[in-house]
Structure 1
Amino acid sequence: MQIGIFGGSFDPIHNAHLIVAQLAREQLGLDVVRFVVAGEQPHKPGGHHAAAADRAEMVARAVDGLEGLEPDLHEAARPGPSYTVDTLRHFRNAMPGARFVLLLGADAAGKFETWREPAEIRRLCQVAVFQRAGMAAPGGFDLAVTIPAIEISSTAIRARSRAGHALGGWVPDAVGDYISGLRLYRSDRG
């Protein structure tokens, strides 16, 4: 079993996340990509805009029915900071025969050496970096996943939600309905 580990805030998850995960699965021959919803992230001291339970629910809704994409709530459910090395140890213990590939965006790859125990992370898994077509991938990583330029970001989606704009095309419908229904990211949230 070959498992891609795609961690993040997913605040909220959006269509670009799903597209790059599917491309990683295809290009790297992964059986599954697990979306690991971060709990408390040590590299994002400002915290999250939505609670871990809401972010986990949005990820579950986004991947529902999509072959080879699964939510993973291990980090979101545990207290304290979420460190990738701890999550990888958890997976290795839970699935000793599996091969793991950590999937990173270029921004995260640029900060990888500042993470807790980067050498141990490399021992526990291969590391793949998303690389936009026509651009050089950051060096020093095991694998690259070529992706198209997709101009969708969680920041833009939160701004659209805050302004009361429609989210169709930006997020899966089930996620847009969840955001609208709870008025997530709105200052007038009751």
Structure 2
Amino acid sequence: MKVGLFFGSFNPIHIGHLAIAEAMISLSDLDEIWFVVSPQNPFKSSKSLLHEFDRLKMVELAIEDNFHFKATDVEFHMPKPSYTVDTLAYLVDKHPQHHFSLIMGSDNLSHFHKWKNHEQILAQHELYIYPRPENKDHQFENHPQIHWVEAPMMDISATYIRQMIQSQKSVKYLLQESVIAYIEDKKLYW
């Protein structure tokens, strides 16, 4: 089975993430999308990061009606900060029956050369790239392991969503109803 790994802090998971994942299933040869909830991204501050178990629960709620999607906490059990190359090695070892690929925005591709062991990742795994508004030319643009998928370009920011929640403004249509209910029930981001 071909599994696309969609890494993110998902702080919170929003309709932009879901639309991209659905496009990847519909427009590529991937069979499943696994949402890898990252405890801490090495390139991001953890200051405004909600607890990892809350973020995982929101992902589970958001994707519960789609059998092509799965939430995973694999990086919760790994050294922090977690690096993609280490997560890939762990998953390949635990699930040798699957072929793992990465899903990422074109904005991440522009600094992919800064990732730990990026050459190893590119040699052993395919990358499925979706467009982002700040798209530029990339040194890996025509690499044979890279597939461009015309997912919708949605410039929705989790930071914006958190600010809306903190201001007690509506986030309807930006988040799944079940995620909104979870946030309200637990009084998250207030």
Instruction: Give 1:47 shift.
Output: 4.3
Name stretches of at least 5 consecutive residues in structure 2 with no aligned partner.
Answer: none
Report if aligned partners of 1:38, 1:76 keep a CA contact under 8 Å in 2.
Answer: yes
After superposition, the C-alpha distances for 1:112-132 in whole angstroms (9 at most, x for unaligned) are 110110011112310111125
Report if aligned partners of 2:2, 2:101 keep a CA contact under 8 Å in 1.
Answer: yes
Dislocated runs of 4+, deviation >4 Å: none
Distance 1:36 1:110, change over 3 A: same
- Per the alignment, in what secondary structure is the counterpart of residue 34 of structure 1? strand
Partner of 2:21: 21
Name stretches of at least 5 consecutive residues in structure 1 with no aligned partner.
Answer: none
Instruction: Give 1:48 shift.
Output: 4.3
- Per the alignment, in what secondary structure is the counterpart of residue 7 of structure 2? strand
- Per the alignment, in what secondary structure is the counterpart of residue 36 of structure 1? strand
Partner of 1:156: 160
Distance 1:100 1:137, change over 3 A: farther
Report if aligned partners of 1:39, 1:78 keep a CA contact under 8 Å in 2.
Answer: no
Instruction: Give 1:98 shift.
Output: 1.8
- Per the alignment, in what secondary structure is the counterpart of residue 80 of structure 2? coil
After superposition, the C-alpha distances for 1:92-139 in whole angstroms (9 at most, x for unaligned) are 111213222200112211111101100111123101111259x77741
Instruction: Give 1:171 shift.
Output: 0.6
Amino acid at match of 2:106: A
Identity %: 30
Distance 1:42 1:54, change over 3 A: same
Partner of 1:33: 33
Partner of 2:67: 67
Question: Matches of 1:15 and 1:129 in 2, distance apart?
Answer: 18
Amino acid at match of 2:156: I
- Per the alignment, in what secondary structure is the counterpart of residue 4 of structure 1? strand
Partner of 1:173: 177
Instruction: Give 1:90 shift.
Output: 1.1
- Per the alignment, in what secondary structure is the counterpart of residue 107 of structure 1? helix
Amino acid at match of 2:186: L
Partner of 1:112: 112
Amino acid at match of 1:155: T
TM-score, with length taken from structure 2: 0.90
* RMSD over aligned Cα atoms: 1.9
Question: Matches of 2:114 and 2:136 in 1, distance apart?
Answer: 21
- Per the alignment, in what secondary structure is the counterpart of residue 66 of structure 1? coil
Distance 1:29 1:137, change over 3 A: farther
After superposition, the C-alpha distances for 1:2-41 in whole angstroms (9 at most, x for unaligned) are 1000001100000110110010112112110000000122
Which region of structure 1 is more displaced relative to structure 2, 75-84 or 57-66?
75-84
Report if aligned partners of 2:107, 2:132 keep a CA contact under 8 Å in 1.
Answer: no
Amino acid at match of 2:88: L
TM-score, with length taken from structure 1: 0.90
